[in-house]
């Protein structure tokens, strides 16, 4: 029986995705630290900002997040007073929206986010970045 090595891992799509994800998470988190926000927090706040009305169910579906992860992440944003939940009588459900502090945090993260985007593009190369964007759009149904 042959012994498998780390060199064999790139054949597994899941392993490849996890490696790329961890590399990008670290890159974005390092850049965004100056804005006091993580990549995951910014991603969720931007999704809330751009999806109106934003319900937890719709966000979870769009971002492919399970309920417990989404709930935990939203709770952290609420504790920081970056997100609030309000009842929308017209919709008959609760909607999420950014507070003024949340909008300020997203704005403060704009420049570091652009730096992270450029560094990620450099890391992935043109073909890798384009392939990742295409896959993301496909999964989002665009």
**pLDDT tens for residues 66-123?**
999 999 999 999 999 999 998 876 767 888 999 999 999 999 999 999 999 999 999 9
Give φ, ψ of 141 to 5 degrees: 85, 20
| Cα–Cα nearest to 69, from 41, 92, 49 | 41
| Cα–Cα nearest to 98, from 84, 115, 80, 116 | 84
- Alpha carbon distance 29, 41 (integer Å): 10
User: What is the pTM for the complete model shown?
Assistant: 0.84
Q: Is 90 helix (H, G, I), strand (E, B) or coil?
A: coil
In CATH, which of 1.10.10.10, 3.40.50.720, 3.30.70.1450, 3.50.50.60 is domain 38-108?
1.10.10.10
- Alpha carbon distance 102, 68 (integer Å): 22
Residue with token string 């929308």? 88
- Domain spans of the chain, in order of start: 13-36+112-129, 38-108
3-14 residue pLDDT tens: 566 665 567 889
């Amino acid at each position: 029986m042959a012994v498998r090595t780390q060199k064999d891992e790139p054949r597994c799509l899941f392993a490849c995705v996890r490696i790329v994800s961890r590399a990008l998470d670290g890159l974005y988190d390092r850049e965004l630290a100056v804005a006091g926000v993580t990549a995951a927090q910014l991603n969720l706040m931007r999704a809330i900002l751009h999806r109106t009305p934003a319900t937890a169910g719709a966000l979870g579906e769009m971002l492919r997040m399970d309920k417990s992860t989404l709930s935990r992440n939203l709770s952290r944003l609420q504790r920081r007073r970056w997100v609030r939940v309000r009842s929308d009588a017209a919709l008959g459900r609760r909607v999420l929206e950014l507070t003024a502090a949340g909008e300020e945090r997203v704005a403060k993260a704009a420049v570091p986010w652009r730096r992270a985007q450029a560094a990620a593009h450099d890391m992935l190369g043109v073909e890798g970045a384009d392939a990742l964007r295409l896959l993301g759009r496909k999964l989002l149904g665009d």
